[in-house]
Amino acid sequence: METLPISTPHCRVERDGHVVIVTMDRPEARNALSTDMLVGLASAWAYVSQEPGVRVAVLTGAHGVFCAGADLKAMGRPSDDPSVRERAAQIADFHWKGLLREDLPTKPIVCAVEGYAVAGGTELLVGTDLRVVAESATLGLFEAKRGLFPMGGSAVRLPRQIPYCHAMDLLLTGRAITAAEALSMGLVNRVVPDGQALAVAREIADDLAASAPLAVRAILRTYRDTLGMDEAEALKVSDELGWPVIGSEDAKEGSRAFKEKRPAVWHA
């Protein structure tokens, strides 16, 4: 496992082969969002998109907690680290990029949640693609209860991801929910024993990394580019992105590997 230089005091970014692991690490504040953390997150997502050898990312929190939401004071205060301050000045809208509101990575993110994933923590989860949650985890969007607004995009995204009545329940009441309830709503993929979220998320990430990266990126982009379109228009976009995949060297290799009963060696 290699720790990447884009890491910050509150965000550790590591690479293991095709997988990047992004760990929020601010134990004194239950991994609440800070400038150091958001700059690290924004840098990690840019790296995941730009690095050809990276196929998937895993987002998690250290010390048995995912993220307790926004720390408004820490988010408004410049970093004590000169290199982080410089990067904050260079990354436009690093808050939104770090929070997965803007410029989503072109590759999938698997979320691994232990403990609290509330307010901004749940907003981060909603920005990921596959979600593993420990059985004693707590999720929730508390903003309405506190006179605030979920600025990470959940007021838009959540009703598109889970049934409307469940989304409004979470958004309007601001109540906390258990991992089991999140699973029943379709908000997460798996509930696992405490302490196992990262290990299971890593297994899923390895499975994703074994899929053809060209196809994975095209599927993700098709979904995102067709949001709000009617089916006929969306299928045109799907064809534009899908036919190059069908005609690619990876498609030929996938067929050969299946016939020869061996793992595929992807070119993209």
Residues known to be catalytic: 123, 143
End-to-end CA separation in angstroms for the chain: 23
- Contact in structure between 152 and 123 (CB atoms under 8 Å): yes
According to DSSP, residue 78 is labeled: P
According to DSSP, residue 153 is labeled: T
Helix (H) or strand (E) holding 36: helix 35-50
- Contact in structure between 197 and 114 (CB atoms under 8 Å): yes
Q: How many helices (H) and strands (E) does the chain have?
A: 12, 10
What backbone phi and psi angles, to 5 degrees, belong to 204? -65, -40
